[in-house]
Amino acid sequence: MKKMELVRVKQGTASTRRFSSGNTLPLTQLPFGMASFAPQTASNRGNWFYHPDDRCLEGIRLTHQPSPWIGDYGGLLLMPQSGVPETEPARRWSGSRPEEQVLRPDYLRAGFLRSGAVFELTPVQRGAAFRVRFPEDGRRAYLSVLPVGGDFVCAWDPDRRVLRGSTSHCPPGRAEGFRMYFVLEVSGEVLPGESLSGTGGYHLALAGRELEGRLAISYISPEQAAENLRQELAGRSFDALREQAADRWEEVLSRVEVETGTQEELRTFYSCMYRLFLYPHKCYERTADGEALHFCPRDSSVRKGVRYTDNGFWDTFRTSFPLLTILAPKELPEILEGFLQDYRDGSPLPWWSSMGEAGCMPSSLIDAVIADAAVKGLLPRESLETAFQGMLYHANTAFPERRFGRNGVREYLQYGYVPCDKEPQSVNLTLDAAYGDFCIAQVAHVLGRPEEAEYRRRAGNYRLLFDPETGFMRARDTGGGFRPEFSPLRWGGEYTEGGAWQSSFFVPHDLEGLAALHGGREALLRKLRQMFDTPPVYEVGEYGTEIHEMTEMAAVDFGQCAISNQPSFHVPYLFAALGSQGETDFWVEKICRELFSSADDGFPGDEDNGSMAAWYLFSCLGLYPLCPGTPVYIKGKKLVRSARIHGVEWDPAGFDRWIPHDALPVRK
C-alpha cells in the first residue's frame, strides 16, 4: 500500500477553543507549499472555521493559517452555487456529507448538496488546479470567488477568461502593506458574471455544467502571480497535476519505512509524517529567469532571496527541526536560509513568523534551530556567521516592539535572570535565555569565536532561580527575593502555559547541573516520579480563568506531566538520561498508545506546526533529541517492529543510551 493511502489529514481537527485535539486543519498542500486548501464549514467560529462533525460547507478556503491562535492571512474562498448566488456565509452555506468528502494531501473533493455541485482540487506550490461539475437541473451555475477578510478586489477579463484580484487580508500590524495577488484562469465558455459591490468578490457564471480552472497566487505583484501560473500550472491537465502532487508526497512519506503491529499504527505514523512536512511554508517566488524574490514585511519592499514563514520556534525547536535534520537534509538548508533572510532584511531573527512577526510565545528559540544545524554541519560558514550575528543581536538588545527579540533582555543582562516585578513569564524567559546562551556558545564553538566562554557562563544562569527548599524554579524580584505565596499548582504569572511543575525541568543543556541542585541524580529522579504521581489539578493563577492547556492536562492520567503541551515533551526522556531507562520506556509507550491516533481527535493537545507529530515519530523510532544544539539523541524503546530511513535499516536498540548523530546510518 502506498504511504499516502494511510494519511488521514483530518487527524487532530476535532478541536474547539476550549479543548484541543490538535487544533489542526485538513490541508491539501504540497510539502512546505505556499498555498494550502481546506473546507470552511462555519466561519462564525472564527479561526476554528473547520470541524469534521459539521455537515455544512461555506466554500473551499485558500488558507495560510499555521494555528488558530495565530490566525490566517492571504485567504479567499471558492464556492460553487446555482440559482441565485449568495455572498454572506449565513445565506450561502450548503449542506454536505462529510462521509462523502475526499480529503488527502494531494487531492480534495467535496459535494455541495444545495447546488448539487462536486468540487475537486489538487495543489501546486503556489496555487491549485480545480474542476467543478453541476447537475443538469436547469439552474444557472456559478463559481463564486469570495473574500475571507481585508480589502478584496477582483476584475474579470472576458477575452482571456481570467479573474485577477488581490486581498490585504492579514492580522493588523503584522505586515503593513501586504497584499496577496491572485490569477484565476478558466477553460471553456463562461458567461458575463457578477461583480460584488461592497465585498469585492465575483460570481463567475458558467455557460455549461462543468468548469476547469487554475489558480496561482503571489505576494509580490499581479504579474508575478501570472508568472507563477505559467511556471506551475500552464499546459498541464488536472489529472497530471494530481499525479505530480501524489508523487511528491509519496517520495516524502517514503523517507521512513516502518513495520507496525496494526494498520491503525501505520495510519497514525504516516499521518504524523504528513504533519511534519506541512510547515514552514515557502514565502518566496521565482522570476522567469529563476531568480528568487520575496515580499519583505518590514518595509513592504520586494527583495531578492528565499524566505520561509508560518512557524513558531517555541514549539518546533524541540522536535520538528531536529527530525527534519534527519528526514529533510536537502530541504532544511534552504529553509534555514529563509529564516536568516529576515535578519538580512533588517529585522531581528524571527520568533513566531506568520507572514510578519506575530510575537506569540516568549523567547528567541530559533537559537536552538541554528545551533542544531551548526553542530550537524547543515549550514555553510558564511550563513552561520550571519546567523551568529543575529543571535548575538537579540541576546543583547532590548527592542522597542515586544514581538521581537528576548523580552526582559536588559534585566537579564543586569541580574542574570528576568525579575518578576519587571516582566511576566519571568521564569520561562530566564530558562529560555540560559538555554539560548548555550546554543550561542555551541555556534561560537563551531565558528571558533572567542564569545564561546562568555555564553557558556551565561548558560548557567538557570541556577539563580532554583529554590532548594521546594525543588522548583521560582521567580525572583529585583531585590533578589523569591516571590511569596508560592504554589506549584498555580499557572501563569511567572510561568508560560503552565506552573512550576511544567517549567522547572527545562535545563536540557546541563542535566547534571540540574541534578546537582536537587542533590544528585536519585533526588532528581524522585522529583520526576513525584511529578507523575501528583494528581493533574491546577490553580488558574494569574490567567484568571481556565485555559485549554489546563483542561487537556487534567483530561488524562499523567499527573503534572502536561504532555499535551511542548514544555513537557522532554520530561519522560529525563528518566533515561538519569539512568532509569525503564521508566522512560514505560511512560513514552503509555503516552503513545493512549493519547495518539489517526482519528479526528488524534492528538492530546495543540499539534503546533509538526512539533507534536514529530514527538510521536521520534518516540516510535526509539530516540529523542533531548538537547537540540548537541548532535546526540537519547535512546528509547522502539515502538515499531522495524524502521528504515532513506533505505537504510537501523535499530536503536543496538546503540548505547546516547546516540551520536554521526552514528545514524548514511543515507543512500
pLDDT at position 401 over 90: no
**Mean pLDDT to the nearest integer, 212-241:** 98
Calculate ∠ Cα 155-64-200, nearest 5°: 20
pLDDT of res. 100: 95
pLDDT at position 667 over 60: no
Provide the H-helix boundaries in 136-200. none
Bridging pattern class, strands 301-304 and 292-296: antiparallel
pLDDT of res. 665: 41
> Of the candidates 510, 352, 526, 492, which has an alpha carbon nearest to the alpha carbon of residue 437?
510
pLDDT of res. 363: 87
**What percentage of the chain has pLDDT greater than the value 90?**
91
pLDDT at position 68 over 60: yes
Alpha-carbon distances of 645 from 189, 253, 620, rounded to whole Å: 49, 11, 13
Instruction: Name residues whose C-beta falls within 8 Å of residue 469's C-beta, 6 or more positions apart in sequence.
Output: none
pLDDT of res. 196: 83
Q: Rounded CA gap, 214 and 235, in Å?
A: 11
CA dihedral sign of residues 113, 114, 120, 121? negative
pLDDT of res. 394: 96
Per DSSP (E only), the strands in 224-377 are 256-259, 281-282, 285-286, 292-296, 301-304, 308-309, 311-312, 352-354, 356-357
**Mean pLDDT to the nearest integer, 483-491:** 96
Q: Rounded CA gap, 215 and 36, in Å?
A: 12
Q: How many CA atoms lie within 13 A of 222 on its CB side?
A: 10
pLDDT of res. 61: 98
Q: Which helix (H) or strand (E) holds 633?
A: strand 632-635
List, for residues 373-390, the tens digit of each pLDDT value: 999 999 999 999 999 999
pLDDT at position 653 over 80: no
**Mean pLDDT to the nearest integer, 192-221:** 92
Provide the H-helix boundaries in 97-179. none
pLDDT at position 169 over 70: yes
Q: Which helix (H) or strand (E) holds 343?
A: helix 332-344
Give yes or no for a contact between 188 and 155, defined as CB atoms under 8 angstroms apart. no
pLDDT at position 663 over 50: no
Bridging pattern class, strands 210-218 and 127-133: antiparallel
pLDDT at position 412 over 50: yes
Alpha-carbon distances of 427 from 258, 310, 416, 422, 571, rounded to whole Å: 40, 26, 12, 12, 17
Confidence of residue 396 (pLDDT cuts 50, 70, 90): very high
pLDDT of res. 198: 79
Q: Rounded CA gap, 39 and 164, in Å?
A: 22
Instruction: Name residues whose C-beta falls within 8 Å of residue 382's C-beta, 6 or more positions apart in sequence.
Output: none
Alpha-carbon distances of 16 from 22, 526, 605, rounded to whole Å: 9, 36, 11
Instruction: Name residues whose C-beta falls within 8 Å of residue 336's C-beta, 6 or more positions apart in sequence.
Output: 369, 370, 373, 378, 379, 383, 387
The CA-to-CA distance between both ends of the chain, in Å, stands at: 22
Q: Which helix (H) or strand (E) holds 128?
A: strand 127-133
**Mean pLDDT to the nearest integer, 125-137:** 97
Confidence of residue 188 (pLDDT cuts 50, 70, 90): confident
pLDDT of res. 354: 95
Confidence of residue 659 (pLDDT cuts 50, 70, 90): low
Q: Which three cell numbers stand for residue 152?
A: 478584496
| String of DSSP letters for 105-118 | SS-EEEEETTTTEE
What is the residue type of 249?
Answer: W
Give yes or no for a contact between 233 and 218, defined as CB atoms under 8 angstroms apart. no
**Mean pLDDT to the nearest integer, 57-82:** 98
Rounded to 10 degrees, what is the CA torsion of 240, 243, 248, 254? -160
Q: Rounded CA gap, 45 and 577, in Å?
A: 43
**Which of 198-207, 211-220, 467-476 is predicted least confidently?**
198-207
pLDDT of res. 666: 34
For 220, phi then psi, to 5°, come to -110, -50
Q: Which residues of 552-581 are buried (b: 16+ CB within 10 A; e: fewer)?
A: bbeebebbbbbbbbbbbbbbbbbbbbbebb
| Number of neighbours of residue 113 by Cβ within 10 angstroms | 14
pLDDT at position 658 over 60: no
Rg (CA), the chain: 25
Q: Which residues on adjacent β-strands are paired with residue 166?
A: 153, 181
Q: Rounded CA gap, 579 and 575, in Å?
A: 6
Instruction: Name residues whose C-beta falls within 8 Å of residue 172's C-beta, 6 or more positions apart in sequence.
Output: none
In a 3-state reduction of DSSP, which class is residue 627? coil
Per DSSP (E only), the strands in 470-519 are 472-473
Confidence of residue 194 (pLDDT cuts 50, 70, 90): confident
For 28, phi then psi, to 5°, come to -95, 110
pLDDT of res. 632: 87
List, for residues 549-590, the tens digit of each pLDDT value: 999 999 998 999 999 999 999 999 999 999 999 999 999 999
Q: Which helix (H) or strand (E) holds 144?
A: strand 141-147
Q: Rounded CA gap, 111 and 272, in Å?
A: 27
Predicted TM-score (pTM) of the model is 0.96
Give yes or no for a contact between 227 and 183, defined as CB atoms under 8 angstroms apart. no
In a 3-state reduction of DSSP, which class is residue 651? coil
pLDDT at position 202 over 60: yes
List, for residues 622-641, the tens digit of each pLDDT value: 999 999 999 889 999 999 99
pLDDT of res. 111: 98
pLDDT at position 518 over 90: yes
pLDDT of res. 285: 98
Confidence of residue 254 (pLDDT cuts 50, 70, 90): very high
| Number of neighbours of residue 336 by Cβ within 10 angstroms | 25
pLDDT at position 660 over 90: no
> Of the candidates 478, 475, 500, which has an alpha carbon nearest to the alpha carbon of residue 487?
500
**Mean pLDDT to the nearest integer, 342-348:** 96
Can you state the angle between helices 381-396 and 332-344, rounded to 10 degrees? 50
* Residue that the C-alpha cell 494528581 belongs to: 535
